[in-house]
Amino acid sequence: MTETPTTDTAKNTDAAETSTVRLITTPADPGEGADPALAAAPAHARARAYGPLALGLTEPAAPGFVRLSLGDAVTSAPTTAGDAAPATGGPATSPVIALPAWPDGATPSILDEYGTAPVPVERSGETRRVLAACLRACWSDLSAEPWPGVPASVADVLACYRALIGRGDDMTRSRAVGALRRLADTGWIIRSGDVVRLGPRCATWPPESHSVLRELVRRLPGPQAAAGPVTLPLDASAPLDQPTPSETPAASSDAAHSGHGEPAAAPADVRPGGAGRDETASDLDKLLSAYDERRRAELVAAFMAVEHAAEPVHEARFAALRDPALRRTLAEMLARRGRTLIQRRDTWTSGYDDDVAARVAGAPGAGTRPGLSEGERAVLTLVLVHSVAIPRADGLLSEDTWLSPYPVAVEELRRRTLLPIGELESALRTLRQAGLLTQVKAVSEEAPGGYVPGPQFHRLTAAARRRLQEELILAAGPQTPLATAIRARRA
């Protein structure tokens, strides 16, 4: 039973390959070799699925990536990482990291201009304040870019945070630690044991926004401030703690020296220890260059919207989704990133191209890959069964989608499944953070709270949705004629 789906999947995708490949190559300009651009698609898909890619020291990044090398500054990181490596995940401690680059310097902030909600950030205020504290502790030289900064101790970051919000109770501390974990999980910081440094995603802040951060860090109190009487740092008219380039490194290197062995080298350098940020050739430029400035902007906006909005976006808001010609180019842009457009009535979003997804999932070493753990996948399956399959079997759901208004209570998962209870909470947290689950608040006795499948299920292609249905049927009713039919069709 465990063997069957795997081989079937492979066969399935083999069969689908012809159609998918045609889909990708058709829109490409015949005169222009589309293959090299498409060759990077699996790498882009991996980066989206598993976070920033780790590269070898001399390994070049694929087109469309920002290649970040930490240089000397990180030579100590792997050693300090040591035992704490699992906390940060494989790629984060690598000396060279690659992140997908956004076209034309756009960031997901562009969604605001279009009145579209970005992927929600869990406990966003708290998380961002902790990130500000990390910046305060790690961004030693304000004349340079924030990334890579210098390593700082967790204690320093927490002290900065304490000074920032003016409270030092246990709950504040544990929440800050939770925010640090979330930031580390999402590549905004790298945490190795007691040492924190800015993560690769901090290198994606556009240079023009650095002044905002610089201003912010200037008015934040340093870690020492937390020891004295509480002062509110937020009165911008009277910055209490103007860090000078010589002062901050001293503060953070005190801590850094202890657990770290290497002094925060040369704070005066723009990029300490030869750290580098290189953007490879843009993979989308050739597609975009054919358009005038306005259309180009529309394409980029639509690209960012389908890729980064929380929910599918309505085509009325995005010209590049309305206009079939622009949409075709958009589809090509997405194809280079291993993605495909997914339509549901008048709304659009993007998802993994079936072929690319199969290649990513079936890549060698897939068993040890990052991504969802076994427990997390089990919890997600349970939510799908309770929230979608059972209501559907009861005839309550009419729409053909994997989203559902019927939440499953945590109690149901805790009491009436074979899942180890210890894993449940953390699995729910991870799934929630990834948008795979949505928490529903209880509104009344009849409508108790719980979990439903999250917005990521909008991003499944029709083939993936069908396969998910089949896998569920194969797992729940392997003896049914339906399962027999599914197996027969796949064979």
Residues 69-108 that bind other proteins (CB under 8 A): 107-108
**Closer residue to other proteins, CB minimum distance, 71 or 402:** 402
Single out the residue of 375, 409, 410, 426 in contact with other proteins (rule: CB under 8 A): 375
Contact residue for other proteins among 381, 406, 439, 448 (CB under 8 A): 381
Instruction: Give the x/- contact pattern for other proteins in 173-192, rule: CB under 8 A.
Output: ------------xxxx----
Closest contact distance (angstroms) between CB of 202 and other proteins is: 9
According to DSSP, the β-strands at 313-314 and 347-352 are antiparallel
Q: Which three-class secondary structure state does DSSP give residue 399?
A: coil
Name the residue nearer to other proteins (CB basis): 90 or 259.
90
CB of 245 to other proteins, least distance (A): 20
Question: Are the beta carbons of 11 and 488 closer than 8 angstroms?
Answer: no
Given candidates 14, 269, 400, 425, which one binds other proteins under the rule CB under 8 A? 400
Pairwise CA distance, residues 306 & 301, whole Å: 9
Which parts of 303-342 interact with other proteins (CB under 8 A)?
Answer: 308
Contacts of 118-123 with CB under 8 Å at 24 or more apart are 118/308, 118/309, 118/310, 119/308, 119/309, 119/310, 119/435, 119/455, 120/310, 120/435, 122/182, 122/432, 122/433, 123/175, 123/178, 123/179, 123/182
Q: For tokens 């925010």, what's the residue?
A: 179
Which residues ranging from 108 to 167 are in contact with other proteins (CB under 8 A)?
108-109, 118-122, 124-129, 131-132, 135, 164-167
Backbone angles phi, psi at 351, to 5 degrees: -145, 175
Binding mask 20-49 for other proteins (x = CB under 8 A): -------------------------x--xx
* Of 321, 386, 428, 438, the one binding other proteins by CB under 8 A: 386
Q: Which of 459, 359, 435 is nearest to 44 (CA)?
A: 359
The C-alpha angle with vertex 369 and arms to 364 and 370, in degrees rounded to 5, equals 160
Residues with Cβ within 8 Å of 481's Cβ and at least 6 positions away in sequence, in order, are none
Q: Does 414 bind other proteins (CB under 8 A)?
A: no
**Positions 239 through 298 that interact with other proteins (CB under 8 A):** none
Binding segment for other proteins (CB under 8 A), chosen from 14-22, 65-73, 74-82, 226-234, is: 226-234
Minimum Å distance from CB 24 to other proteins? 17
Task: Check residue 171 for interaction with other proteins (CB under 8 A).
Answer: no
Is residue 409 involved in binding other proteins (CB under 8 A)? no
Single residue of 21, 220, 290, 329 touching other proteins by CB under 8 A: 220
And the tokens for 223? 């870690």
Amino acid letter at 316? A
Give least dist CB 279 to other proteins, A. Answer: 18
Decide if residue 442 touches other proteins (CB under 8 A). Answer: no
Binding mask 444-463 for other proteins (x = CB under 8 A): ------------x--x--x-
Task: Give least dist CB 431 to other proteins, A.
Answer: 9
Beta carbon nearer to other proteins, 326 or 436: 436
Bridge partners of 318, per DSSP, are: none
Which range, of 229-237, 244-252, 319-327, 340-348, touches other proteins by CB under 8 A? 229-237
Closest CA to 281 of 468, 30, 103, 437: 103
Beta-bridge partners for 423: none
H/E stretch holding 128 reads: helix 124-138
